[in-house]
Amino acid sequence: MSLTQFTQTLSPLHTAPDNRGYDYDLVIVGGGIVGLTLAAALKNSGLSILLIEARVTSAAVAKGQAYAVHLLSARIFQGIGIWDKILPNIAKYRQVRLSDADYPDVVNFQTTDLGTQELGYVAEHFALLAPLQEFVQSCSNVTYLCPAEVVNTQNEPDIVTVNIKVADEYRTIRSKLLVAADGSKSPIRQAAGIKTKGWKYWQSCIVAFVRPEKSHNYTAYEKFWTSGPFAILPLPGNRCRIVWTAPHAEAKALCALSDAEFLAELTQRYGNQMGKLELLGDRFIFQVQLMQSDRYVLPRLALVGDAAHNCHPVGGQGLNLGIRDAAALAEVIQTAHQAGADIGKIEVLKQYEHWRKKENLAILGFTDLLDRVFSNNFLPVVIIRRLGLWFMQRVPMLKIFALKLMIGLKGKTPELGKS
């Protein structure tokens, strides 16, 4: 089912408030992967939900975006009941090879380190988005409105009012709780006056698809160069996703090259372990940034995913943090609802903030440290990091700790992820 076909089958918007004055218990703004995951996680919660998305197709779909999907994210999708629909269209990886430029010592993470069948997965954006949309469509407690625009919101002690525009019609929705899943430039966050801290890196990220001559053998690579990390992620059909971080000027120059010239540069970074490379489709470039919101919640408002935080793409953490946000918030508000509490109260929402903000900050700090330590040719730092890789490969406890941190198995696990 295409996105266009999907939007033609959405359930109608109900606007008759219940006897408490609410149209919905929860309004989610942003119908991307994180917003959809939150709605799907609340299928059996007893809460009535409105999910609002402004665009029929997202920029991530248009650019063929792809993501590393960590084991915990996979377990959350399994707990929701959607994993069987996702798994056939994504690739598993069974090894991760971590290396520093031309330093010969390689840290090789394997399934035997964790006793699992795989270490993670790689999924194109649509391979996650389409099953989530189909699943949410089957949720009787969710109304998915797309396309629709949020004009403004107004918070009061006992209610949040969301004014929306659907085609040429304006409607007013009353809810207990508003969730912003509307991206890093979140208009909802900005309108609420929530400040952020962070910075834009000196680097930009180039992403592209390639098909190697030889099999990728379900192996993911993270190669660190002094200009920035370089990742190779396996995809179905023996394709790979390249995530190439470089200083802005270098990244722009690389994108300006002809396909043949770009492939020549890419082969130097990629190595010859998979033979000749074929470039598939266009290359895209985006600037890298770190951002953490000062607050994840206010009375009757919660931020999830990129609306709350952004991190460096090293290690493929970004989307996975958002999926964990969605699972954690779903658990907190469902538990509160079952206990008869008001899900929009700050006392309830603070539980979510206390859980996720510190864990996200730890990962933001970890990815920032990795990038700064490895994107560096200062000799003492080079010696220290290579000693670190040497020890990591030879000290099992250190290796397993690093692996669990990278794939989301450290920190508090949502109930959905315990299946």
Lowest-pLDDT range of 2-16, 109-123, 312-326: 2-16
pLDDT single digits (tens) 327-375: 999 999 999 999 999 999 999 999 999 999 999 999 999 999 999 999 9
Q: What is the pLDDT of residue 2?
A: 40
Q: CB neighbours (10 Å) of residue 97?
A: 16
321: pLDDT strictly greater than 70: yes
- Provide the pLDDT confidence category of residue 20 given band limits of 50, 70 and 90: low
Residue 59: pLDDT band with limits 50, 70, 90: low
The predicted-structure confidence for 259-280, as pLDDT tens digits, reads as follows 999 999 999 888 888 889 999 9
Domain ranges of the chain: 3-92+123-198+290-377+411-418
Q: At what angle do helices 248-256 and 259-270 cross, to 10 degrees?
A: 130
Q: Which two tokens stand for residue 121?
A: 């997965």
Confidence (pTM): 0.93
CA 373 vs CA 235, 380, 385: distances in Å: 29, 10, 7
The answer to whether the beta carbons of residues 174 and 261 sit under 8 Å apart is no
Instruction: List C-alpha distances in Å: 378 to 335, 383, 389, 396.
Output: 51, 9, 17, 28
pLDDT in tens, 122-158: 999 999 999 999 999 999 999 999 999 999 999 888 9
Q: According to the model, what pLDDT value does residue 63 have?
A: 65
Range 3-92+123-198+290-377+411-418: architecture per CATH = 3-Layer(bba) Sandwich (3.50)
| Structure tokens, 337 | 């609802």
Q: For the chain, how big is the Rg over CA atoms in Å?
A: 22
Give the number of other CB atoms < 10 A from CB of residue 405: 16
Phi, psi of 381 (to 5 degrees): -70, -40
